[in-house]
Amino acid sequence: MANSPQAKKRARQNDKRRIHNMSQRSALRTAIKKLLKLIKDNNAEEAKAAYQVASARIDRAASKGLHHANRAARLKKRLNNRLRSLSA
């Protein structure tokens, strides 16, 4: 339990950041799941649009420190490979 004013403020900040990060992470996962569902349904046009949204969310998460840059690149590469295999 935080006793000093500084520790109490830190606890408040951590709670606020955790809630924000959870919502951002959830939105990212939702965008990826939507893309994967469109790929599974062989819907190429909508999947391309969904890839743009998912890619932007992945980049944003990496720039904000929610995910490591290498993880973001790996996610985008794997999603792009699935999207290209759908077109081929």
- CATH number, domain of 75, equals 1.20.58.110
How many helices and strands in the chain, by DSSP H and E?
Answer: 3, 0
The whole model's pTM is what?
A: 0.86
20 band by pLDDT with thresholds 50, 70 and 90: very high
Q: Show the tokens assigned to 4.
A: 């000093």
Q: Domain of 18?
A: 5-87
87 band by pLDDT with thresholds 50, 70 and 90: confident
For 42-72, the pLDDT digits (tens) are 999 999 999 999 999 999 999 999 999 999 9
86 band by pLDDT with thresholds 50, 70 and 90: confident
pLDDT higher than threshold 80 for residue 88:
no
Instruction: Compute the mean pLDDT over every residue in the chain, rounded to the nearest whole number.
Output: 95
Q: What's the number of domains the chain is made of?
A: 1
Query: Whose CA is closest to 23, among 51, 64, 52, 80?
Result: 64
